[in-house]
Each structure stands twice: as structure tokens, then as C-alpha cells.
Structure 1
Amino acid sequence: MPHRYYDFFAGGGMAGFGLGPGWTCLFANDIDPKKAMSYRANHHGGAEFLLKDVARVTPDELPGAPDLVWASFPCQDLSLAGNGAGLAGKRSGMFRPFWKLMRALHRDGRGPRIIALENVYGAVTSNGGRDFATLAAAFSGLGYRFGAVVVDAVHFLPQSRPRFFMIGVRGDLAIPDAQVAHEPCAMWHPPALIEGCNLLSPTAAARWRWWNLPTPPARNTNLAALIEDEPTGVKWHTRAETRYLLGLMSEHNRRKVEVAKEAGERIVGTIYRRTRADADGAKRQRAEVRFDQVAGCLRTPAGGSSRQTIMVIDGNTVRTRLLSAREAALLMGLPETYVLPERYNDAYKLAGDGVAAPVVRHLAAAIFEPVLERNRPALAA
């Protein structure tokens, strides 16, 4: 029997691709009409999808009793590049009406067996760790045993994308010993997360668990393998445009390009444009390149500086262009068959707002599925 889940703030339904065929979505929700179209195009019509502000969703619109609730709630106010509003912000504050629905499900006797939250790494440190403590208090208040991990998609995909996951198991369920460690693990529990635990109340601290994730196998793909010679939706820059990008580079970054040219082989790198202060304090736009076969973290295309540029060097030939929408989807672990929006910015935003599918699969295999299998007789009773 498939496991059942809800997908809040679902976007294009990337969490479902990570969970895989052993899971059935009972309910999905988002407020963005364009993302709704993508969800439906990639999830057999998406009959379970409700296009509605989560603050207006009622418990009666939530069918059945889910094994898992997945919620990738908005990150803008928790981001290190955001405005610092945290959970009090208009967008990240959507966690509160979402959690109100979780409380309502418990009152109805339909409390989710597992709840998993996903957000940016900044959720760990936002407002001096107080937002982290607020999330912990929410889980503790409903009696969940819970913990958090920070997982970088780079373990699975050639993209640097650290994300925070807080995972809770309902208090009446057994947690297999293998899923819990006696102490934090450096790979999944960075110092900021360990320090954040100091802000937990005694009750929440007693319910805290160090989730035990296995070390994933070595990644078997790199950035160059995903780059298309003839991309759809973007064009290779003119020589003048490429020279302009090179002109935006500092001496250090230009030297990286020269070293790559001297290698005499095809080398793929990525470029982000950033505002940096010069030695005299004046701010100017800079192009920063990396050739470590890993893309920078995909973001939403709020402006030109948020869109990642590809640089391909083959001997003395240097070509540049924007990352294509299909390449962005591949960097999120989505299949070639995933149907993307026609407009470039819509497709890029969909990818930048999403969750990396292989990370979800790792969490499902390491925590969600073992917990549910351990409790299957009790759940069926």
C-alpha cells in the first residue's frame, strides 16, 4: 500500500518526484497559478491540487489522514540575503497558518504521522536562532519527537544548495533505533544547528532527536555532463557580450579563466554577477566564476544578477550564455521528461524555488519510510 502525503507550498511538485512511486499525494497546495499549471502538467492532471492561499485552506479541504506532510514554506524572510523579518515576515510567516492546519488535523484525530519542513539554511540562524526555536516549539507543542538536518544537494547533484530540514514523528509512534544517533554528525549537523539547540525549552529539548542519515554514495555526475551544446530558450552570447563579462571580473577571477584556457581541454564553469566593494569602498558589479564542476545555488530570477551564467572554455575559445531552463531542472534532479513552462523566467523561477528531488529521496529512505514501516501494524489497526 503506498504511503500517503500532503504537499504544502508544492510549486511544481518536486517533492513528489523525490518521494517516488511508493507515495500517493492526497493533497497539494500553492498560491501561484503558474506553478499550479506545472504541477498539474507533471502529476497526471493534479486532481489533488488546490490553488489557494494556505491561510484560507480549511481542514475540511484536507482529505484522509496523511503519513507525511511536506512543507517547503516561503524562504524570503529567512534567507541570509533577505530582509531579516524571519517568521514575522509576510512570506515566511505563512508557516503560521500552515501550522494552524496541523493543529486542526490533530484535533480531528488525523494528526500527520510525520511532518517535514524545508527551508534555506538561514532558518537556523534567523533572528539569532529564535525562529529556529519557534519551529521547534511548534513540533514540541503537538508532542512530536523531532530533529533537524542541513543537507547540501551537492552530495547528489552538481549544485551547491544547502537546505534546512526539520522532521518530526508523532509522539505515539515508535522510532527505530537506527534512525537516531547519540550525537550530532558533522555532515548533517553544522555548528549553527548545534548552537540553536541551546535555545530550546526544556520540554522541546527533551523531544529533540539527532537524525541519523547515511553518507550518500559518491556523486556520479558533474556540471559539464548536464550542459547542452544546443540549448532551448537561451542563446550563446556574442563575442562582445562575453568580453563584457570578462571585463567585470577581478584579477583573481580573470586568472581562473586563463588557467582554464591553458588546460587545453573543454572546461565548464558558472558565473554569478555580484555587487562588491573595491579597495576604495566604491561598489561595483563583478562577475565571479567557478570551475569546480559545481553550479552555484539556483535562485529565482528577481534580476539579472540572480540568473546563473555558463562559461565553456575549449583552449582559447571562450563562450558564455545563461543557464538554460532544462539545465536548471536537471540541476534539481528532475527527469528530462519534466514539463517546463514555456517562458524562461517562469521555468527558472520554478527550479530556483524548488526542492532537489534526490535530497527528498534520501530523507525518505533514511527516515520517513523506516519509521512508517516500523509502525505499519499499529497504523493498520
Structure 2
Amino acid sequence: MMGEGGSMDSTPIRAAEFFAGIGLVRTALQRVKGAQVQVVWANDIKQAKRDAYVANFPDAEDHFLVRDIREVKTPHLPAGIELATSSFPCIDLSLAGNRRGLVGEQSGMFWEFAKILKWMSPRPSVVLLENVHGFATSHKGDDLAAALRSLSDLGYSLDVFAVDARHFVPQSRPRMFIVGIQKGNLPGNARFDVPPVSDVRPAWVKAIHEKHRETLSMHYIKLPDLPEGPRDLDGFVEEEVSPGAWWEDDRVEAFVKSLSDVQKARFQALLTADTISYRTAYRRTRQGISMWELRRDGIAGCLRTTGGGSSRQALVRLGRGSKAVRWMTPREYANLMGAHDYKLVAGTTNQQLFGFGDAVVVDVIEWIGNHYLVPVLRPDSTASAE
């Protein structure tokens, strides 16, 4: 986009965050290259999330609206929004949830977001949606089809892809993304055939494109290969914690006792190794019995919102004959979400853990911003930055 006299357009990209949470989307968008992204409006239903957001972004004091999205009206939004992001609730879509899909009380909030888009004038040039892989299979794919159809009817051409955060941080966190671009703003490199299989478009994503390309407005843009990602927790573990954070011997022994025989063998091998290593562990209910499971690799499992038996992960330090176990800290949750510099100054420990478990990984959104959003919204700025 060129400015007056042929100069490059340096106008900030005006963005709105729906289901903004604690602000990790904004954290990511502020890091993108080639253009400034200015979040001018944000919304979430939880006051605790708003408090954490504003503690990190004080200017949001005036534009963060704490309100049920069902009560949000278009006059609440400022004019000129080019990018709208939506990480709507996943609980009804997740394989670990109730699978009620888009008729569920939580994930059904997608329809409220779509309703707001419908009445925005002009509509954002680009929308970015994020959710769990279970969105693709909910009600045998009918939920995703309905969501894509609603966005297509609003004038958006749609791309679907998937990114696992383990390519950026030591956390297994697979997520699917939908990018909608108003048809008049599609870039020249947009393709309208079926995308080839790649690390961001595995076979199941390709199948989504194949299924809907004849009936809906679908496109794809070639994206670079994802980085390999870290293989252990080095640099993500909080080295200095309060003395009482590590569990006492009897609790550690109870932890070990709850492990299965396979898990105990894994624990023992790490315990007797010549080097110190870290593993994460989480509780599972097997045949009605609560058991701890030690992760096989050196990265964390998917961080979840606190409030369930398997929701909070423990950190296990083993090697040279020594063993120690404790709960993971909010700072470690922040690090694993790519938010090393995030200020933990608002909310209780559980509220902080909940906020990160309910958020997006900063590095993933930054990568999407650099390779997809900014090139579409400010193509000339991107070209000049390369």
C-alpha cells in the first residue's frame, strides 16, 4: 500500500482483540517486523485477565472492555479496524472437553464474534482465528464447515493451517488457525487450488481445503518451513524459587509410588544419569485411580487452564542420584508461552496460571504476523524491510 507521492505506507495497522485474555496476542503483534500493529480495542469477560493485560499495557486502560461478548455492540468499537483476532473458547471443541461444539455455551461464542463482524462497517480486512485441532472434527466437521461458511458469506476468502508451538518453545501445543481476507484485499501470491502437504498444512488440513474449495471462498498462501524448536527446558525453568516450593520427601515418594512400572523405569533411568535433566509430569485418572505420568521427552505438555485433576503440571528434576519435584510456577508458564518479559504483577497464582493456560503462544502469533498478516496488510512495508 503506497502513501501520497509514492511513499511507503507507514500507517499503523489498527487491530482489535476479541477474547483478548491477558494480552499475549498483543505481545506478539508488537514484535512483528515491517509494520507497526496498534491494538486499539480489546475485550474479555474476566476482570482478572483485564487487570493482567493493563498491568502490561497501561494504555489499554481506556480501550479494554470487560463485558460478555453477547453484550458487545459495534458502537463499542473504534473506526478503522483492519485486523480482528479471535481466540474464542475451546472447551466445547477440545477432545478433553465435552465436545458440544459450536452449540456449546463457551465455544458457541464464535457466533457472537461473527455477528459483530457482520455489523461492522467497514469490516476488518483480515481476521485471525485460533482454536484447538478438535475444531476440525467437532460434529464430524460440521461445526468447522458452518464457521467457514459464515465467514465466507461475510466476504472473506479463507485459509486454514496448523502450527504446533513446539517449533518455537518447549511445549507441545498444537493449534489450528483460520485467516480470512476480504476478497478485494487478496494478495497476488494467494493460490486457489488445493495446497500441497507441508508442516503447516498436514493431510487433514489439505482435506479441509479439498472439501470446501468448490462451495466456499478458499485460498492459501505458501508459508516457510517451521523452525525445529527446542528439545528441552533449558532457559525456560525458573532457577531460583522459594525454599518451600520443592516438595518434601514424603510427597515425592508418594509421587514416585503413583507411577506405573513403565513410568518408574523412566524415572529411575533419569535419576541415575550423569547429568541433571528436567521433565514435566501431569496427573491422569486410570481405571478410577489418580496417577502421575512423566513425559517421555524433555518438553512440557500442553499448558491448560487450572481447575482440574490433570490441568497443572509438575516439574521433576532428576540426575546424579538426586530427585526433586514441585509445581511449575507462573513464570515458567509465561516462559513456555513465549512471554519471558511478561510482568506478573496482577492476580493470584491460580489466576496467572489460568491466564497463560488459556492463551496463545507469543512466538507462533509473531511468526504468523511476520509471514502472513503484515505481508497482506502492508505488502510494500514488508518488501522494504527485507
TM over 0.5: yes
Letter in 2 for 1:68: L
Match of 1:37 in 2: 51
Q: Return the offset for 1:157.
A: 0.3
Which of 49, 70, 92 is the equivalent residue of 2:85? Answer: 70
Q: Does 1:143 align with 2:150?
A: no
Q: Return the offset for 1:197.
A: 4.0
Q: Does 1:4 align with 2:4?
A: no
Tell me if structure 1 keeps the 8 A contact 2:93–2:100: yes
Structure 1 residues 233 and 15, CA, compared in 2 at 3 Å: closer, same or farther?
farther
Letter in 2 for 1:122: G
Deviations 1:280-302 (A, max 9, x none): xxx32221112522100000111
Deviations 1:132-182 (A, max 9, x none): 101110121112111111110000000000011110110111313178886
Please give the secondary structure, in 2, of the residue aligned with 1:28: strand
Please give the secondary structure, in 2, of the residue aligned with 1:370: helix
Match of 1:248 in 2: 258
Match of 1:260 in 2: 270
Aligned length: 366
Which of 305, 325, 328 is the equivalent residue of 1:323? Answer: 328
Match of 2:71 in 1: 56
Partners of 1:345 and 1:32 in 2: CA distance? 14
Tell me if structure 1 keeps the 8 A contact 2:191–2:219: no
Tell me if structure 2 keeps the 8 A contact 1:36–1:51: yes
Please give the secondary structure, in 1, of the residue aligned with 2:235: helix
Partners of 1:341 and 1:241 in 2: CA distance? 30
Tell me if structure 2 keeps the 8 A contact 1:298–1:328: yes
Tell me if structure 1 keeps the 8 A contact 2:276–2:320: yes
Tell me if structure 2 keeps the 8 A contact 1:233–1:344: no
Q: Return the offset for 1:198.
A: 5.2
Match of 1:370 in 2: 375
Which of 36, 40, 50 is the equivalent residue of 1:26? Answer: 40
| Segment of structure 1 superposing worse, 223-232 or 301-310 | 223-232
Structure 1 residues 2 and 241, CA, compared in 2 at 3 Å: closer, same or farther?
same
Structure 1 residues 86 and 337, CA, compared in 2 at 3 Å: closer, same or farther?
closer
Letter in 1 for 2:139: N
Structure 1 residues 61 and 342, CA, compared in 2 at 3 Å: closer, same or farther?
closer
Match of 2:356 in 1: 351
Match of 1:379 in 2: none
Letter in 2 for 1:333: G
Q: Return the offset for 1:342.
A: 4.1
Match of 2:5 in 1: none
Alignment of 1:283-302 (within 5 A): 283-302=288-307
Partners of 2:344 and 2:59 in 1: CA distance? 12
Tell me if structure 1 keeps the 8 A contact 2:102–2:143: yes
Partners of 1:40 and 1:65 in 2: CA distance? 23
Letter in 2 for 1:124: A
| Segment of structure 1 superposing worse, 185-194 or 124-133 | 185-194
Structure 1 outlier segments of 4+, above 6 Å = 178-181
Please give the secondary structure, in 2, of the residue aligned with 1:223: coil
Deviations 1:11-53 (A, max 9, x none): 0111011111521011100000100101111112412111111
Letter in 1 for 2:354: K
Please give the secondary structure, in 1, of the residue aligned with 2:266: helix
Tell me if structure 1 keeps the 8 A contact 2:280–2:316: yes
Structure 1 residues 236 and 3, CA, compared in 2 at 3 Å: closer, same or farther?
same
Deviations 1:108-148 (A, max 9, x none): 2x110100111111111111111110111012111211111
Q: Does 1:114 align with 2:126?
A: yes
Alignment of 1:112-191 (within 5 A): 112-177=124-189, 183-191=195-203
Structure 1 residues 257 and 338, CA, compared in 2 at 3 Å: closer, same or farther?
same
Match of 2:101 in 1: 86
Deviations 1:83-113 (A, max 9, x none): 11100001111111111110101xx2x1101
Please give the secondary structure, in 2, of the residue aligned with 1:305: coil
Q: Does 1:195 align with 2:228?
A: no
Structure 1 residues 73 and 190, CA, compared in 2 at 3 Å: closer, same or farther?
same
| Segment of structure 1 superposing worse, 223-232 or 135-144 | 223-232
Tell me if structure 2 keeps the 8 A contact 1:79–1:120: yes
Match of 2:220 in 1: 210
Tell me if structure 2 keeps the 8 A contact 1:125–1:196: no
Tell me if structure 1 keeps the 8 A contact 2:275–2:319: yes
Q: Does 1:14 align with 2:24?
A: yes
Match of 1:274 in 2: 284
Structure 1 residues 259 and 233, CA, compared in 2 at 3 Å: closer, same or farther?
closer
Higher relative contact order (CA 8 A, sep 6+): 2
Partners of 1:240 and 1:358 in 2: CA distance? 39
Tell me if structure 1 keeps the 8 A contact 2:195–2:209: no
Structure 1 residues 331 and 233, CA, compared in 2 at 3 Å: closer, same or farther?
farther
Structure 1 residues 352 and 233, CA, compared in 2 at 3 Å: closer, same or farther?
farther
Letter in 2 for 1:30: D
Match of 2:6 in 1: none
